[in-house]
Structure 1
Amino acid sequence: MDPELGGFISKSDMNSQHAHCNLCKKDIRGSIYNVKRHVKSTFHKQNVQAMTCTVPVDQFVQTPEVQKKQLFDDSVKDAELRLAGWVAKEDISIRKTDSLLQVMKSCFPNDAVCQALASSRTKTTGIIKNVLATEEKVQLANWLRNNKFAIIVDESTDKSWAKVLVIIAKYVDANYNVREDFLGLVDVHDASSAGQKNLIMKCLSDLGIPIQNLMGIGFDNASVNTGSVKGLGVLLKVEVPNLFILGCTSHSLALCATYAAKKLPEGLELFIHDIVNYIASSPKRQDELKKCQEFARVESHRLLQVNMVSIRFASVLLSLGGILISLYAHRVENSKAEDPLYEPLCDLGENMRCSDALTSEYSRGFGFLGDFLGNDSPLVQPNSVYGIGFYSVILVL
């Protein structure tokens, strides 16, 4: 039979001069030309379309076998969604899902759902990007359309040196919990304040979020953001006059601490480098340092290198803290050797162990001062220069 006829034409019961269309229930008189003409007619095409959209009768009434298979397929889909959500939440490499599936299937050989899982890294990536992320963004956008919120923005550069703008929404959810959720990641082609404003406005507009719901914005203290004439904050205030602008205090304090550290004698940095290099270059000295820490019952701390001109001033504090605690452990060991009745300085008359004081919640050896001075004193704060100086005085007494 001619494939153009679609398999619907058969011999008519009238006579040999007629053909019959099984779909249209119509007899066609004439030659093959008339038959093809009927196949191309609007009436025949409508019947073909109606037939393709018709659901078979056996699909209306689901047998127990069909229902059981449907429940099983739903269980597999639910497991794959949960697995992809767990990978995204725990920030696990998606490449690990291939080996993870193999381990799961070997651990649960009798579980049919586990054996049917097929969410490899490609499928897991698709679920996260096209299902979970899309649904999460829709729910977030629905909430922000009717509630006030703030955003945190920052530029970043990926491994291909392409600049992107990260937008985080900060809001209060229905349970009165403050949340910070990912709102958007957009490519930056214009890094000016006007360009960033357009990106933020477009991101909110695409999600249907009114700009009037924006209450505040946080960013770093770059001039493109905090400029008093054409800064990003100034431009956004044109749209939202009562917008609250908050710069990053960590960057400001880090820059202040960096310039303050430059006023310190260079010998301090050299002294710290010499201590770290002297211990790190010898496995024997490292073992002796570890024994001192164990003897003094303090937590084992690694000696860290420090760069005094780094904007990450916390590295200076970590390096100093490790060195100070190591010096304290050495002093405790020497004092024990000289006087067996010696009690460590941090016992405080309550038989408090050194490790309890030096590894307390205030960290880095300043916890024991809180019992005397109160927890709000600058001397007991972990990142307090006064605390480091006071503790250094105690060491040399």
Structure 2
Amino acid sequence: MGKPQYNQAFWSEWLKDKLFLDWLSEYEGDPLKAFCKVCCCQIRAKRADLINHRNTKKHETASGAIRLHAPGSIKLIKLNNKTNHAEAAIALFVSAHCSILSSDHLGELCKLQFSGAHADNIHLHRTKRTAIINNVLCPYFELKLKDDIGNNKYSILVDESTDISVTKFLGIVIIYYSTLKRTIVTTFLGLEELMEGNALAIVNAIKSCLKKYSLNIKNMIGLGTDNASVMIGVNNGVHKLLKDENPYIVLIKCVCHSLKLATSHAVSENTSTLRQQAYYKELFTTLNDGCEPLKIVQASNTRWLFIEVAVSRVIAQCEEIENTETQWRKINLVSWKHTNSSIDFWTEVKEFKDAAQCYIFKELANFSLTVLCLPWSNAAVERIFSQMNIVKSKARNKIAALPQHPYFRNHELLLKHEFSCLK
């Protein structure tokens, strides 16, 4: 007669055995079986079977792929707010003043040179610092900008440029009146990558940028561009396509570009004839004791583009026009303090109250501050491209548009809103 067979139930003491400690568990629903957490399979609840399973190639391979830790073996370090603030301050300093690569040892330097629990717990290298800049600082500053703009009227400046990797970008700058700062603010809004250089692609990029900040295109009052035909074309230009959705957008051609063209045109007209050159030579000789002037270089012929006058559309309701005109006639009856600055003056006018605590010049002041938000030069956009060439150099020509955006946003917000990485 053979050896009697018996059914072995799962023994809870096996869970404390060093051989089975990391991978064995009970199998729910059947007390005669065990469960391997690594291989996700059932095993008969017998010690010999458990040892045989532990030595199989399947189990060894699965155990090598999964790093197992005993319960309580991982000690978590609880970081305090001072450590978080210190790491955020360092990341803000890097985004505003230097590159990530050159400051890779900054976190370690702070740990070595400064004492304190929050300094000792700083672990900040390029990966974590980039994540803080992209996912913490930039969204915070974008939210501040969004709240500051609110539902105010605004203008935008747009221009195209190509970086070192031959990628075309559209730089967008916004001009608006900040109620919090009580001044006109000109700041970076977005850097959008362009797949094509036509007007439709540019308009789609502008709309995408405005959507990120929940800006209503109906509140746009001005568009500042260079004199490129894709921007100012009367049939299919960017201004024409935007004006189809908001007929009150005023096109302001960059005064710097227009002045250059005007100067070139004027020089071309004044030196185009031999008689005019002779007059110039005679005048130069008389003023410089007989010295001969250098030969005047013939200027290239360029077409004349005048600066379109920013004329606001006639307001539909005559009652509002009469109200604004009445306020204009009464404005000289008040003694104003800030008369040396247009922005300070109209801010004072906007906040003025009469004896009944009513803002009697509100409509007039809002209209004047809105006019001051109209663009006049594309210099602010050109500065963005100058910064882009610094951030994205020949040595770092693979950097994409997304990593560049937080640097511009953080840098501009620090400048325009008087923030500081020291606070």
Q: TM-score, normalised by structure 1?
A: 0.47
Q: TM-score, normalised by structure 2?
A: 0.45
**Higher share of residues assigned helix:** 1
